[in-house]
Amino acid sequence: MAKCLKNLINISDLSTDQMFDLFNVADSMKEILDKKKTCDLCKGKILATLFYEPSTRTRLSFESSMMRLGGSVLGFSSASGSSVSKGESLADTIRTVAGYSDIITLRHPNEGSARVASQFSHVPIINAGDGGHQHPTQCLLDLFTIRKEKGKFENLKVLISGDLKFGRTTHSLAIALARLGAKLYFASPPGLEMPDYITNQLKKDMNVIPSVSHDLKEYIGLSDVVYMTRVQRERLGEMEYLKYRGSYVLSEKTMEEAKKDTIILHPLPRVGEITPNVDKDPRALYFQQAYNGVPVRMALIAMLLGVV
């Protein structure tokens, strides 16, 4: 993969074979993480984390990943703590930081920012989320978790629910799952449906037409995987957010309709869309899902740097 892929900007940048190669490497990385050990694959290498938007799991898991690989980390966790606050352009920031590091992870509020960054960098760029567009590494850890639990993607019934308009994790995941042969169900409040460019891509490129509803409960009993998402407050006006908040909630009662082997995933953070009492349900795997972000990102970093 390292020889034929310089950056990861969009989940479509990866072929199916490349994804499975990455999952196999991530299996090995998970053994290192499970034992709370490190390795020296990236000794002497530096990861720059440039986060123009707030993040907990993505930023810290990338930093943890590089440290587990024996490398070092530098960067910033908000634009206000960098020269961006002085008006520096993204291009100039990338040009500069590429000289300080071996690989860059970028989160930015503007769609397409990671693609732009890749045009000004001589080191690999990893998209850690660009506005409401894509979040390919979250998609990879979601797929890795599903593969671990279900052992396949073909004909798997996956319900993707919540804010599908601005939830960038759902965009990447829908495209990847369709490519891998899963059956898709979309459930969202009116006005937060999956964007047309995603549904059109699914239909045109993969001949996949998802089942769509505004009722979360309609597909619960059919699904092998329930993927919940929060309403993206930061991309809505306050009145819009208040209108949608709490409109889709997964509770113990709702899960009574689900199959015994259905798994519940969520990219986190959750903001009321999964009630805390669901946490004790053995089907609730969202914290394991977050944990899996480290071995998956370890694998991605190592492969992009060509050390595995």
CA atoms of 45 and 259, how far apart (whole Å): 46
CA atoms of 115 and 109, how far apart (whole Å): 13
Give the pLDDT score at 178: 96
Give the pLDDT score at 239: 58
Give the pLDDT score at 5: 78
CB 109 within 8 A of CB 146: no
The angle at the Cα of 104, spanning 99 to 110, to the nearest 5 degrees, equals 115
* DSSP per-residue string spanning 103-167: EEEEEESSTTHHHHHHTT-SS-EEEEEETTS--HHHHHHHHHHHHHHHS--TT-EEEEES-TTT-
Give the pLDDT score at 236: 57
CA atoms of 178 and 170, how far apart (whole Å): 12
pLDDT averaged per 10 residues in sequence order, the chain, 308 residues: 75 93 97 96 98 91 98 88 73 97 96 94 96 86 97 97 88 94 94 92 93 93 95 61 68 95 94 93 97 98 96
- CA 63 from centre of chain: 16
* DSSP per-residue string spanning 229-251: ----GGGS-HHHHHHHTTSS-B-
In sequence order, the 6+-apart residues with CB closer than 8 A to the CB of 64 are 294
List the domains of the chain with CATH numbers: 11-134+293-304 (3.40.50.1370), 136-290 (3.40.50.1370)
Radius of gyration (Cα) for the chain, nearest Å? 19
Give the pLDDT score at 168: 82
User: 168-179 and 136-150 helices cross at what angle (nearest 10)?
Assistant: 50
Give the pLDDT score at 246: 61
- For residue range 120-179, what is the model confidence (pLDDT) as tens digits? 999 999 999 987 678 899 999 999 999 999 999 999 999 999 889 888 889 999 999 999
Give the pLDDT score at 234: 62
CB 169 within 8 A of CB 293: no
With H, G, I as helix, E, B as strand and everything else as coil, classify residue 173: helix
- For residue range 249-278, what is the model confidence (pLDDT) as tens digits? 899 999 999 999 999 999 998 888 999 999
Give the pLDDT score at 79: 72
